[in-house]
Every structure is written in structure tokens, then in C-alpha cells.
Amino acid sequence: MLHGMQTSPPHSFLKQFSWALYDFANTIFSAVVVTVYFPLYATDILGANTPVGISATASMIAAGLMIPALGLLIDRTGKAKRYLIFTTLLCVGATAALFFQKNPAPLLFFFFAANLTYHMALVFYNALLPCVAEPKTQGFVSGLGVGLGYLGVVCALPIADWCDREYGRPAVFLLAAGMFLFFSFPVFARVPERQKAPDSHAPRVFLKQALHDLWQDKNALRFLAGNFCLVDAMNAAILWLSVFLTRLFAVPSQTLVQTIIWINLSAGLWAFVLGKVTDRAGAKKVLMGSAAAMAAALLILSTSGSFETAFWALVIFGSGAIAGTWTAGRKLLIDLAPLNRQGEYFGFYGLTNKISAVGSLLVAVLADLFGFRIAVFTLLLPVAAALFLIGSVNTAGE
């Protein structure tokens, strides 16, 4: 397997910071729209959890089915940044459109479109990491992005809370769209475009051939399967967190916002630390630790009788699990991918992230049938599978 550093101009901190700032931008959408305000807004209108779960799951599966082909497109054209700009603008437009929607069908449609293009954009963004960082610093730069992402949430949620109280919940979607667009400009302007992959192998235009070749790489398959299981549990927990805390602990709106701010502040600090740990100790160890922390958070959350206990479990274990998963996951993917197939591997990495929406729908259905405690407890099963699969990955130097 061939590994190495992509040929590019000297890496500057300005380019690295510009790349990382996109995490700041897109996590505003993820937290403000997906985690907090849309589930609350939509479930109040619809009177049920399942339609929101179906829309979120369908959008992520649709993105997942498209992303492997998008990864191949990156390798064949070297136009990751161009596609990142296009999908970001689509996401911003769909998010802004939520402001105008009062009826269930268009409301769910524009959420579907926003979530779909948000997840599509991530594969292009992740593929730009080797353009701004050498292998020995990719963990740090990845952690910098994750850390800035959660800092963005800390900055955005108080503003969103104020906007909600002063102008109403639909106005929050306009705010999120504007902030996402504004903080995306640095990556658009400062980060270099990828180079077209060297043609040392036969063209991988057809997805069937790419799947066949990936099937031969059992090590990468174990990582991708484990990543699917871990992110599946994480996505479900993120989507339903605000509803879970509101329903079970009667948390008022301001307390909910403050809780999510603390979680994201903690995740940002974890990301800065774990980025360095990833470079020194290895991405696999950090990813395993993140899965164990996620298991601890879910177990405490589903069994705790007090909001305070749930709060500290989320701040300590949940935030560390999320930060470590994103920081170490994309670094481990780069370690495993051949140089001239990084876009292809990032496509399959994106696939495992996006189709890992089974848990989001399962939580919705189980919550409607049996309550949120049982629904959240079931997420321990995919986390246990993730620990087993990621533990079986063989990486050099670990």
C-alpha cells in the first residue's frame, strides 16, 4: 500500500486555520439547526418524533449513497474546493428557506435538502486536509478544526437563543444560514485546490470497481464498519439530545442552551488536546478511547434520575467522545488510504458517516413506543460493535 504526502505548496498556519474555520461554520448549522431548534420546532408542528427521524435518516442515507461517487470525482478532477463551495451554498439556501415554511411537507423537504447538502459538503472538506497539513501534523490540524467547530457552537447558541426569544424560532434558521455562509469564506479564499490524483492505477470511474478494490482492503473495511457503528450512535444522540433533555428532565429553553454550550465548550477543549494526542499516540488509540467514552455517556444518560448527573456525563464523556471521533477518524482514514485514492477512501468514509442514520430513526420509533430512556440505551449496541471492529484494525506504529 502506497502512502505519502500530497505534493503542495509549503503549509502555512493561515491556510490551516482557514481550513479549520470551516468546522466553525458547519458546526453552527449542525448544532443550531439539527441538534437544537429544528427538532423542537418540527415536533411542535407535527406532534410526533418519527417524521423528523425519517427526514433526517433519509437525507443522510441519500448523501451516503452519493458520496462514494463524489470521492471518485475528487480523485479524477481534483476539484474538491469547487464542489465544497457549491454544496455549501445549496445548504445555506435550504436552511434560509426554513424561515418561510409553516406546513409540514415543505418544512421537512427543506430540512432534508439542507441536511443532505451539509453532509455532501463534508466529504469535499475532509479531502482538503492533506492540502494544508503534512502527515505529522494532520492530527493537530484536524483537532484544530473540531475545536473551532465547537467554539462556533459556544458563540452561536447564545445568539440563536436571543434570536429565538426576540424574533421567534423561524428567524433562527435565517441566522444560522447567514453565519454558516460568513465563516465559510476563509476556506473558499485561502485553501488551495487539490491536485488531480496520479494515474498510476487504472481509472476508477465506476463505483463497482472501487467497491471491488475496497473489498480487498480488509483493514480499511474494519475501520469503516467500526466508524459506521460509532457515528450511528453519535448522530442519534446529537439529533435527539434537546428533545431527550426537555422531555425527561423538563429542562427550560435557556438551561438547554446553556447545557449545549457547556458540552460544546468541553468538546472544543478536548479536540485541541486530542489532536496532539492523535499525532503522538496514534489515531486508533484515540478512536478507541472515544468509543469507550461514548458508551459511558449513553449508559449514564439512559439510567440517570437527575439532570445534574446527565449534565456531567455529557460534558465529560459525551463531549470527549464526539471530539475524539472526528479528530482521530479522518486522520486514521488518511493513514489507511493509498495516496492516489484518498478522495475515493474519503468517499467511503463519508458513506459510513452518512448512512449511519439508522440509530436516529430507531431512537424516534422506540421513543414513541417505549420512551426515550430505552431508546437511548439501545445505542450501546452499535458502540460495542465499534469497539470490537476498530480494535481489530492494524496500523503501523500502534
Whether the Cβ atoms of residue 325 and residue 290 lie closer than 8 Å to each other? yes
Question: What was the pLDDT predicted at 258?
Answer: 85
Cβ–Cβ contacts within 10 Å for residue 130, how many?
A: 24
In terms of pLDDT, which residue wins out, 215 or 96?
96
The reported pTM is: 0.71
Per the prediction, the chain carries an average pLDDT of 83
What distance in Å separates the CA atoms of residue 375 and residue 243, rounded to the nearest whole number? 12
pLDDT band at 11 (very low <50, low <70, confident <90, very high): low
Q: What percent of the chain has pLDDT above 90?
A: 26
How confident is the model over 204-228, as pLDDT tens digits?
445 566 666 666 677 878 888 898 8
Considering the four listed CATH numbers 1.20.1250.20, 3.20.20.450, 3.30.70.1070, 1.10.150.120, the one that applies to the domain covering 13-185+215-391 is 1.20.1250.20
Half-sphere exposure of 43 (CA within 13 A, CB side): 24
Q: Which residue has the cell 470511474?
A: 205
Domain layout of the chain by residue ranges: 13-185+215-391
Could you please report the per-residue DSSP string of 5-16?
A: PPP-SPP-HHHH
What distance in Å separates the CA atoms of residue 33 and residue 88, rounded to the nearest whole number? 15
- Residues in CB range of 219: below 8 A, 6 or more apart: 336, 393, 394, 395
For the four alpha carbons of 131, 89, 352 and 348, in that order, the dihedral sign comes to negative
What distance in Å separates the CA atoms of residue 141 and residue 130, rounded to the nearest whole number? 10
Mean pLDDT of 346-363: 73
Q: Which three cell numbers stand for residue 389?
A: 471492529
Of 25, 96, 393, 5, which is closest to residue 218 (Cα–Cα)?
393
